[in-house]
Structure 1
């Protein structure tokens, strides 16, 4: 079977026709001489006026190349889901010669068929390759063809997908302003060519803070030569998390095209296959090497190296020694040809930016899934996020966290684990949010357990800190580390099988997963509606874990000023930390709220003991509602002490806290959740909480509060108004609407009785709510 160059049209191609007039050869040569040239896979000629020519050697024609487009810099407040380093397109291309033109063809490896299968003809005919761009050959010499690609990179080619359709509509973005767009930099290397350019767009409805009515992006395009020697594929197993590529096999024996996925992996092969087969530790033919950015502060280099090489523990278990190596990048004096843009080198880049993030992208061969290179990006201000959360989530039980001058070794340990997480992505591992629920909550209070096992079964979860451990617990590990799931998934993805076909390897690995995947420490899961697959949580019981977390947070609140604000300093840091403290509170209560209407998901195959989808039991959901009654619906005065809030806010924070509560209420009574509960209770295994009982419980817990204070009255008003909104929602199921109608009617009676109150404020409050419902009933 071979991979075919078949169309998989993601974007409309644009043909860029060049001016047919031609200068004499001498004149053209003189023009090129004035441009800066770089030899490489594609020799480039680049001028200050955004002129760019490619010299395409004949032996590069019809070769498999990968073109990757990423955002290098982008406007502020543009999108929550795109940041520097985000990929906007990735497509395999060919340069093809057609007469006096070179066409850039988009090629697909998604659809395949056997060479001797007659269906091959139909697949080819029904998947025609689109032309992304077409260029006149300006000069032909020395078995190469020179083309002018200036317009391609000075304009907005649809194939680059720089601006998404949603952003175009939201901001009313017009076309590119060519007077403010340019090619910035071009570099060519033996295996890749890099083009960096700036595009400026006119914006008719800019986001807040953008007074220029302009979006300017800097974009990085990589054209990469793919390996001629194809790496054997590895078929994925949905019970083991792995980044993958989807394929369609039209020669399948099944009565349809057979879809399957292959894993994205580095090519890791032992130097001595015989020694490897005998169980000896063997170095790989080509280890995975990461070079550290020379801009990395010297004091953090050891932690970055440890974070990268921590994965050797997992590789050692499957027979590889020194499989992954970290090195400091050579200086210009040591190696003038070294460049982080060279696809032969993978790097960890340290970016001086206010962005609080780190990312771990990689580039993979779309034919086989082989990872070719990756660049981990660490943004400097990410340190601030970790410092703040370390104090807020562990300060009650962890004396080292009770300061904004966090000890260097503690910050270094955090950085080490963040880099390990991002390297995990670059190795092919997606997030595994189920790993944080593998350990019993009370085990997280054990020094012996946490020092050995960490705080979650995988570093690929968002389980950053141990917020469960209580004051007095000894020898606790507070920061995450690699877990048993990480060892297991590396075994699945990188164990070498000499002489085995992909189908034989698939059977061997399936047996391994069959034997382990039902154990909690080896489970994989995304978020979905599963309370065991949440972000930022730890432990197998969200209620107990959040109770411990809130207990600690109350201690932190009492000491926040002392731990953050030395004498003589202003209260800016205190205000920032308090804002993040509210976010921590929100996370803890949302962890519990996810149990309501939740569905436990277990990825398994027939024959394994278990049920893939099972609703959270009614008993557990009622316990979650009881937690919310105690810790959310009644005013949490500890969360906004006046002696603290008065230091930095003239308006107080009541509305912020009420906003958290009302948002949670609307989430619990959202149309999507109510409809999903009706459906899952009717069709899935388990005895869950029904919608009527949910509404009754919330109504009682919120509306029956005696002598409600201001925050509780605002919550009651939000409850009444939300019921009205639900009754008018066309998407709400009829069954749920019936429950809403009954609750509105019952509430009117109850509010009429409550109006007879000696307290004028409460009497007016209940009268107002009654009138809101009465007017709604009359419409």
Structure 2
């Protein structure tokens, strides 16, 4: 009974509790139902329509680019994941002074191969390196792969897929508005120089993103806080406009051509671990366009054949009408050169289509190479190109011409040819002659865009006196290639007739284009081409016209020089320059009734004189470089003959270190500046002095004695330099202010070298110490001669300087 009663009580309690719970639950369910009806539950999976709305502006191309209120989405086809693309970072617009004047708008900052890869629910943007490679069929390929892990630039969240699931959507807004070092246009050295602190996101934007069939172009406006900006210093700000080009690389790779330093080509290299040798091979490939003949059989028979895809440059619509034909000619001139390589109509320039003719045409589209005309005070032109790092294939090129560049050419035309060329003696150079200069500058830049670097040895191929011949210069020009810095014929003298004064394409251009671009039908690999390529070089090896030389320590490969004898060429050049200096006011200020042009041209005249002097200086301690393979006769490196170096020293003492009164005309100086003449002359003379007393040059001279014991040795050179510059100390002769400054500069330079760590344990310090002691003895006697007081004070000052140097620990 007690059990029954207890069970009944428990049952009643449980029943009541259940009723209460049901009432509570019913009330809760009702509330939830009411709430659900008021706010429908959202789906957790984002839809395509969440990102591409009626307000979205979409751009079709390599990837679809969607822009919704400046939020940018890439719609990446899954078929493009893993494909290799080239990411090129360029400066589109720069603040004044960035890079110290050595960086221009359009300058390329970085080029890297990237791939977009899927990982979990992210898309990774990775950099792929071709510095180390191996055939993927070999076991070592796996080792190369694991020892060259590819860095991840950025990881994007996958927002969603497109409607048919063939593409993924990622938001790139943050990527292109953040300071991502891998794609920054401010390298670390600029950040240090300008004391850059941070990117200011509030003043940084995506200017535009445009998608084309083979590339995507992003323009970014970045503003950085900087304590030492290159210009507008009070703003503590650097604003820079950056262009990011992402270009899909060809899946059918062009067969590369192996680089040979005997022929000038830009190149790219890698380390190939596929070699059977006992070490990895360093391989270099030349950079060139892909030219494939339409009719290979006709091409192999030696007929001229058009390429499947010619090289076409489009002229900037902003180019002044009066200049267009000259720019077009500068491109079209190369068509004849390509005929040497078997191609007809291989390269041409076209005028850009109007919006009506082609509304989709854009100069940013990688399918179109261009010649940009930039409204800038920069005096320059450049010929950059973008190439496939796997093969060297040039994919596109944008040549840049800066508006003020023609002024430089007008000025130098007057200064370098005015003595022998009456039409150059004016500030209003005839339009056809200005046009011819521009045409040749464009040809030079096109040469770069074709893969050709400067060939400074080409001007050394022609005898000096041949450049005074009208018949020779009209046919051969003034250098063997347009790729030399041989702009004008400054050798021709008054009275020489029918002279060509402006450079032109030459025989080396035909030779190098044939070597780099002619198809070799029997070769299926780059290695199989080498035998034929070597033969083409060796057939021309003894002719200086076909020699390639880089500007380093070789006096036969100097910038801005012409002729095969620098002493003789510079003698002609200085002789002409003296005529120009005498007539400079007559040709400038007397015509304009102001001194601005006179001041500008006088400053540039000093620069021209300094270049002529520098060509001669290069002979002293110079080493000729004749690149060759062991099957060719002769040495690769040959010191300049002792007699030639001695001749150069004598010339320098007379034409550089002696006071050049012809450069110091009071009618010019007193009308362009109130002071600074002595410092200007000292700076120019010191440039040559420092070039002679250069550690690398002196070490070369010491080493040259091993190759040729009769060479011009460092001791003889420094002694000749010292006795020439202090020649007055041997006589009772006053020293003028220019010579006093130069003599002190010589002592200072010798002291700097003597007390530097570089020369401490070499013969250089012994020679310098000995020559300073000899000079001190010489001045001890000279200071007591009957010279004027400033000269005596000067000698005593020089002796004090020497004592201080020799006493230094």
TM bracket (short chain): over 0.9
1:29 aligns with 2:57: no
Q: Is the 8 A contact 1:616 1:686 kept in 2?
A: no
**Residue correspondence of structure 1 range 331-480 to structure 2 within 5 A:** 331-480=354-503
Q: Is the Cα contact below 8 Å between 1:154 and 1:178 reproduced in 2?
A: yes
Q: Is the 8 A contact 1:93 1:105 kept in 2?
A: yes
Q: What is the aligned partner in structure 2 of residue 620 from structure 1? A: 644
- Counterpart Cα distance in 1 of 2:627 and 2:708: 15
1:99 aligns with 120
Counterpart secondary structure, 1:392: helix
- Return the structure number with greater relative CO, CA threshold 8 A, min gap 6: 1
Match of 2:98, SS?
coil
Cα distance between partner residues in 2 of 1:776 and 1:445: 49
Looking at structure 2, the residues matched to 23 and 71 of structure 1 have their Cα atoms a distance apart, in angstroms, of: 42
Deviates more, 1:346-355 or 1:106-115: 106-115
How many pairs were matched up? 757
**Where does residue 62 of structure 2 map in the other structure?**
41
CA deviation profile, 1:638-677 (whole Å, cap 9, x unmatched): 0120011112111152220121112221221123322332
Residues 283/27 of structure 1: CA separation in 2 closer, same or farther (3 Å cut): closer
Indicate whether 1:322 and 2:345 are aligned. yes
Determine the structure 2 residue equivalent to 1:217: 240
Please point out which of 293, 303, 307 is paired with 1:280. Answer: 303
Mapping for residues 667-682 of structure 1, pairs under 5 Å: 667-682=691-706
SS of corresponding position for 2:632: coil
Q: State the Cα RMSD in Å.
A: 1.8
Report the counterpart of residue 68 of structure 1 in structure 2.
88
What residue number does 2:15 align with? Answer: none
- Kept in 2, the 8 Å contact 1:353–1:380? The answer is yes
Structure with higher Rg: it is 2
CA distance in 2, matches of 1:202, 1:689: 55
Deviation of the 1:22 alpha carbon:
10
Match of 1:310, SS? helix
SS at match of 2:115: strand
Deviations 1:104-161 (A, max 9, x none): 1111233222233221221111111111111001121231111111122112212124
> Pairwise mapping of residues 544-623 of structure 1 onto structure 2 (< 5 A)?
544-567=568-591, 569-623=593-647
Distance change in 2, residues 1:246/1:750 (3 Å): same
Q: Any residues of structure 2 matched to 1:703-718 within 5 Å, and which? A: 703-705=726-728, 706-718=733-745
Alpha-carbon distance change, 204 to 498 in structure 1, aligned in 2, over 3 angstroms: same
CA distance in 2 between partners of 1:48 and 1:466 (Å): 59
SS in 1 for 2:454: coil
Contact 2:377-2:404 at 8 Å conserved across structures = yes
Residue of structure 2 equivalent to 1:498: 521
Which has more helix, going by share of residues? 2
Question: Tell me, which stretches of 5 or more residues in structure 2 are unaligned?
Answer: 1-41
In structure 1, what is the Cα distance between the partners aligned to 2:620 and 2:434?
37
* Cα separation, partners in 2 of 1:344 and 1:762, compared to 1, 3 Å: same
1:568 shift after superposition: 5.5
**In structure 2, C-alpha distance between the alignment counterparts of 1:110 and 1:135, rounded to whole Å:** 27
Is 120-129 or 439-448 further displaced after alignment? 120-129
Write the deviation string for residues 675-713 of structure 1: whole angstroms up to 9, x where unpaired.
Answer: 33223433x457421111111101110012342211011
Which shifted more, 756-765 or 413-422? 756-765
Where does 1:186-265 land on structure 2 (aligned, <5 Å)?
A: 186-207=209-230, 210-265=233-288
8 Å CA contact 1:615, 1:687 repeated in 2: no
Q: Which secondary structure does the structure 1 equivalent of 2:149 belong to? A: coil
**Structure 2 Cα separation of the partners of residues 596 and 209 of structure 1:** 44
Shift of 1:518: 3.2
Residues 291/744 of structure 1: CA separation in 2 closer, same or farther (3 Å cut): same
- Maintained 8 Å contact 2:47/2:160: no
> For residues 122-133 of structure 1, what are the structure 2 equivalents within 5 Å?
122-133=143-154
Q: Quick check: 2:48–2:161 contact (8 Å CA) kept in 1?
A: no
Q: Would you say the 8 A contact 1:597–1:677 is kept in 2? A: yes
Q: Taking structure 1 as reference, are residues 191 and 207 closer, same or farther at Cα in structure 2, changes over 3 Å only?
A: closer
Distance in 1 (alpha carbons) for counterparts of 2:655 and 2:51: 77
> What is the alpha-carbon distance in structure 2 between the residues aligned to residue 313 and residue 22 of structure 1?
67
Secondary structure in 2 aligned to 1:259? Answer: strand
Asked whether the 8 Å contact 1:236–1:263 carries over to 2, the reply is yes
C-alpha spacing 1:150/1:687, structure 2 compared with 1 (3 Å): farther
User: Is 1:727 equivalent to 2:754 in the alignment?
Assistant: yes
User: Against the structure 1 CA distance between its residues 720 and 23, is the aligned structure 2 distance closer, same or farther, given a 3 Å change threshold?
Assistant: farther
TM-score by length of 1: 0.94
Cα 1:744/1:67, change in 2 over 3 Å: same
1:470-549 equivalence runs, <5 A: 470-501=493-524, 502-549=526-573
SS at match of 2:241: strand
* Separation in structure 2 between the aligned mates of residue 686 and residue 450 of structure 1, nearest angstrom: 40
User: Is the CA contact (8 Å cut-off) linking 2:95 and 2:231 kept in structure 1?
Assistant: no
Change (3 A) 1:686 1:325: farther
Name which of 734, 740, 751 aligns with 2:779: 751
Residue 183 of structure 1 is matched in structure 2 by 206
Q: Deviations over 1:178-216 (max 9, x none)?
A: 122111111111111000001122222334663322221
1:238-294 CA-partner distances (Å, limit 9, x unpaired): 111111121222111111111111111111111112222222221111111111111
Q: Give the TM-score, by structure 2 length.
A: 0.91
